[in-house]
Amino acid sequence: MSTGFDVLDRAHAALRTTAASLVPADLTRPTPCEKWDVAQVLQHAAGDQRAYAFFLTGADGPTGDPFAPDGNLTVEPLALVGPALDASARAYAGVDPDGTAPTPLPQGVLPAQTAAGAAALDAAVHAWDIAMAAGLGSPLDNELAAMILPTARALVEPLRQWGAYAAELPAVDDGPAAELLRYLGRDPFWAAPTAR
């Protein structure tokens, strides 16, 4: 389903493809989110997309706290993530791209393009976290990262105080994907010691 926002469609596809590529052994692997394993990042990412949907429609909200995932999956990864992405996509499909949209972020209501970019940032970066943990190829290419960077630069700084993002890493001129990851406090060359 198209959301009407290319950046969000692409980010959703990245997270969906990554979730579909996981095997059971991947779920307990460490991730760049130091306190969470793959299963917990999946729960968090699904919960966040449901939160974006809920703030737009009042429905399809998360069933638990996305910031306290327990890592106990009762369904396959795609069965967890897919419906959350579908809910987010349905919600954004009803948003006027030239209007505004409420978000679960402390910033609240944002221009629709920025709100969709925030949901895309969340989906794409967590897709990267999960893929790197599982030893998969990066789903965050330079084109998608370049689309997300303006939103990240507009929204991330105040979120660092709540631990949503680590401190920015020193910049290196090696492409938009690496730039985005470093801006969010992630090492673009991070790899799990137990990756496939």
Strands (E) in 37-143, as ranges, are 100-101, 110-111
**Cα dist from 50 to 32, 71, 123, 185, 192, whole Å:** 22, 17, 11, 24, 28
Q: State the average pLDDT over residues 9-14.
A: 98
According to DSSP, residue 183 is labeled H
Residue 167 confidence (pLDDT) = 86
Residue 64 confidence (pLDDT) = 85
Q: Are the beta carbons of 154 and 115 closer than 8 angstroms?
A: no
Six-digit token pair at 152? 């990240």
Domain membership of residue 193 (yes or no) is: no
Domain membership of residue 188 (yes or no) is: no
Domain membership of residue 175 (yes or no) is: yes
Quick one: CA torsion of 150, 81, 92, 105, rounded to 10 degrees? Answer: -50
Domain membership of residue 115 (yes or no) is: yes
Domain count along the chain: 1
Q: Are the beta carbons of 122 and 48 closer than 8 angstroms?
A: yes
Range of the domain at 111: 6-183
Residue 192 confidence (pLDDT) = 81
According to DSSP, residue 30 is labeled B
pLDDT more than 90, % of the chain: 83
Instruction: Give the C-alpha separation, 149 to 162, whole Å.
Output: 20
Query: pLDDT for 162-173, tens place per residue?
Result: 677 888 889 888
Domain membership of residue 74 (yes or no) is: yes
The sign of the torsion formed by the CA atoms of 72, 78, 81, 83 equals negative
Instruction: Give the C-alpha separation, 160 to 3, whole Å.
Output: 28
Domain membership of residue 190 (yes or no) is: no
Looking up residue 126, the CATH number of its domain turns out to be: 1.20.120.450
The number of CA neighbours under 13 Å toward the Cβ of 89 is: 19
Tell me: pLDDT of 181 over 70.
yes
pTM of the model: 0.94
Tell me: pLDDT of 196 over 60.
no
Residue 53 makes CB contacts below 8 A (sequence gap 6+) with 59, 60, 61, 84, 87, 88, 90, 91
Query: pLDDT for 25-52, tens place per residue?
Result: 999 999 998 899 999 999 999 999 999 9
Domain membership of residue 195 (yes or no) is: no
Tell me: pLDDT of 184 over 60.
yes
Structure confidence at residue 195 as a pLDDT band (50, 70, 90): low
Query: pLDDT for 96-151, tens place per residue?
Result: 999 999 999 999 999 999 999 999 999 999 999 999 999 999 999 999 999 999 99
Domain membership of residue 82 (yes or no) is: yes
pLDDT more than 70, % of the chain: 97
